[in-house]
Amino acid sequence: MAAVPGSKIVLDSAPTSAILELLGLQNAVAASYKFFEVTSPCMQQLLSGLPRIAQKFNKRRLTRRVAYDIGNTDLQWTFTTYGMNDAHSFSVNPESASDMLGKAEWIKFVAAFFNKEAEANKIFAGIEERYNAAKHTSTTSTTKKTVGFARYNKVANGTIIGWTIDQPQAWMAQGLADAGLDVHNQDIAAFSDIDSFNKATSKWNVLIDLSMEPLAHGGAKVPEWDNLVDGYKVGDTQARKSGSEALYLSDKSIYRSDLISSYRNATDYNEHLQIQVDALLQDLNKLATADSGATDTKWYRNLPNQGGINWVSAADCKN
């Protein structure tokens, strides 16, 4: 590994991008992976003027691992979310954490490469304090709603071929529970007809949508309310024959985590939300307590209330 502190690193990790911003270390980025995209306007601006590095995959292994072709340049190392097989790459992947605060602790790992441990510990302590305060607030609430994750599956010609109930990762399940929500936590289930899907989800108060829709925003796949009306057959009397309207529809509580997105298919969910779990829990608290759908969240977009996307670009950088 190159000598610490880092000054010329390659970026291919959205959470690392957020961490560097939190630590004020953006200027340590000297290059990025060719197709790497971020949501932060100022990081977009920075990366637009830096070299792009090619990525190489080793297909001979059972697990594809990645190397970065930094060759004989004076670049030091790469932060990536992928598996690596070269000595100058380091994985930063908060998704691998088992709990919410464990995600935030990744800031300590990155900070060690820059001799910024003291700053990282201070930032983490603030996140931890705010998280525990938000958790305490949720435990005083008498509200108890059920939340689940789902998606409709659409092929290229627009035909919907089924519906799926997904399961949250362990850290998300913990965050939802800390917000006072009951988490639908059974095996992943696939449905070929809408009636079976409706029956399985009719008692959910909150649905977090994971569907993918190709829309005309630089290739970003971000469904709008009209897409979900078609995807989940909202208002289709025949489709609702198995029971009354789902609670998440009557409560106007369908959300997506793409409220802050870039035109090049990046979301702040994969950046700052991965580290700033205190703000994430505050969002989840709002999902748990809102009547007729929360509309004042930081990252979660309410679709029944026609919540639009905050599209950001380098032009929005205020520095």
Question: Does residue 137 fall inside a structural domain?
Answer: no
Residue 6 — very low, low, confident or very high, per pLDDT cuts 50/70/90?
confident
The CA distance from 126 to 74, in Å, is 36
pLDDT at 156 over 50: yes
Residue 4 — very low, low, confident or very high, per pLDDT cuts 50/70/90?
confident
**Average pLDDT across the chain, whole number:** 86
Please report the sign of the dihedral spanned by the C-alpha atoms of residue 205, residue 309, residue 270, residue 56: positive
Strands (E) across the chain are located at 9-12, 29-33, 52-53, 55-58, 65-68, 78-80, 89-91, 145-154, 160-166, 181-183, 189-191, 206-209, 254-256, 260-262, 301-302, 310-312
Q: Are residues 264 and 120 in the same domain?
A: no
- Tokens describing residue 147: 């939340």
CATH number at residue 76: 3.40.50
Q: Are residues 107 and 36 in the same domain?
A: yes
Mean pLDDT of 305-317: 92
Q: Among 94, 129, 164, where does a domain finish?
A: 129
pLDDT at 82: 73
Q: Among 73, 98, 129, where does a domain finish?
A: 129
Q: Are residues 62 and 188 in the same domain?
A: no
pLDDT at 310 over 50: yes
CA dihedral 251, 271, 89, 1 (to 10 degrees): -130
Question: Does residue 292 fall inside a structural domain?
Answer: yes
Q: Are residues 119 and 213 in the same domain?
A: no
Question: Does residue 36 fall inside a structural domain?
Answer: yes
State what percent of residues in the chain have pLDDT above 70.
85
Question: Does residue 236 fall inside a structural domain?
Answer: yes
Kindly report which listed range (7-16, 117-126, 136-145, 278-287) carries the lowest average pLDDT score: 136-145
Question: For the chain, how many structural domains are there in total?
Answer: 2
Higher pLDDT, 204 or 69: 204
Q: Are residues 97 and 164 in the same domain?
A: no
Q: Are residues 170 and 125 in the same domain?
A: no
Q: Are residues 272 and 310 in the same domain?
A: yes
Query: Could you tell me the pTM of the whole model?
Result: 0.89
Question: Does residue 43 fall inside a structural domain?
Answer: yes
Q: Among 71, 97, 129, where does a domain finish?
A: 129
pLDDT tens by residue, 212-242: 875 544 555 678 888 899 999 887 654 444 4
Q: Are residues 184 and 311 in the same domain?
A: yes
Residue 301 burial by CB count (10 A; 0-12/13-18/19+): exposed, middle or buried? buried
State what percent of residues in the chain have pLDDT above 90.
58
Q: Are residues 174 and 98 in the same domain?
A: no
Q: What are phi and psi of 50, to 5 degrees?
A: -115, 160
Question: Does residue 267 fall inside a structural domain?
Answer: yes
pLDDT at 139: 66
pLDDT at 305 over 70: yes
The CA distance from 93 to 6, in Å, is 19
Q: Are residues 13 and 121 in the same domain?
A: yes
Residue 186 — very low, low, confident or very high, per pLDDT cuts 50/70/90?
confident
Mean pLDDT of 113-130: 97
pLDDT at 238: 47
Question: Does residue 135 fall inside a structural domain?
Answer: no
Q: Residue holding tokens 């469904």?
A: 223
pLDDT at 121: 98
| Bridge partners for 182 per DSSP | 146
Q: Which domain holds residue 90?
A: 9-129
Secondary structure (DSSP) of 141-205: ----EEEEEEEEEE-TTS-EEEEEEE---HHHHHHHHHTTEEE--S--EEESSHHHHHHHHTT-S
Q: Are residues 107 and 164 in the same domain?
A: no
- Tokens describing residue 143: 């509200």
Question: Does residue 2 fall inside a structural domain?
Answer: no
Q: Are residues 102 and 199 in the same domain?
A: no
pLDDT tens by residue, 14-68: 999 999 999 999 999 999 988 899 999 999 999 999 988 876 665 555 444 555 6
List the one residue out of 93, 127, 113, 85 whose CA is nearest residue 29: 113
